Structure 1
Amino acid sequence: MEMARTLAAIDAPAKALKDLNKSLTANNDLAKSMESASDIARRLTQHSDFAARLTEGLPKIDLNLPDISAKIKASLPKPLTDFSGHPATHAPVAMPKTSPEAFTQADVQLDSIGDLGRMVRRLRERRKLSQQDFADLAGVGRRFVSELENGKPTLEFAKVLQVARAAGISLIARDRSL
């Protein structure tokens, strides 16, 4: 009885519900042996054609809201354009793979977080990215990028590495005593 009420409440094409009812009636022993709704759902999802028929008549939802305020728009994350299929004119040049011994004195020595921050800012500006766009690319917040670029010394190291990777900066540590 409860199963019939549940099926009646589902907003799906009538043919799909009739097929489900016929299937459950034919397998009455199976339906009685099921312990919970999650067990029923798991068994139903095993039949992907049935799941497709249940959802084919449902309307698609458009999440573009017409009267969204500018303040809300500014707080939403901006989607990044996928340039993977197009040759990028502003993309960083791929760094050749080298061993740590191959580095020379021409490499930049980072003595502080400020040095790394200035390097990140220079590379971000070379790509013509705003702090927000770059933060989205790096997977961190805009404020974190700002603090790094301004040399804040108490930043989380894992996130600093994440931003450096997104900027194309290779951080290689070597023993100075060698």
Structure 2
Amino acid sequence: MPIAVVLALVLALAWRERGSIVAADWLPYAILLGCLLSTVVLFAEGIPRPSRLTLAAFTGLSALAAWTALSLIWSPVPSLARDEALLIALYALTVITPPLILRSDGERLLALAAVVLGLGAVAVATGAVLVLGESPQDHFRGGRLYFPITYVNAEAALALVGVWPALALAARRDGV
């Protein structure tokens, strides 16, 4: 299932690369995502058409990536403009991937459950590192958790990404 590969890439990026924004850390994941999406689009049958809202988000992010790439011309640090353009292109790929590879309600439900389980696993693993690790205090900066992602706002965002899908799954009345 391609969405499992996407989830594994996201979780690996968070855990192994500590949420780094350095291009050398996240670019291999972006290339893998691009290859996965290209493979699905080229070889899968019955690719669903994304909604207008999804297409608008993808188009907007793609345009922003192009504009950012164009800023290489006047940027005092062209390498940073390039990295930012590539990162925004990754965001665009991230927006368009689920609608293209999740065809049925069952696949979407399974992907939702996988996101919740994957993020739950990261939370449990983080707790294990803090409880069983040699020096858990090393994972805090200024009293804030600094692990696995080394940016506290992103750390909170990672934890909260799973809340709404978990609530949606818990609220289902069909017993799934």
TM-score normalised to the size of structure 2? 0.24
Structure with greater Cα Rg: 1
Q: Higher relative contact order by CA 8 Å / sep ≥ 6: 1 or 2? A: 2
Higher helix share: 2
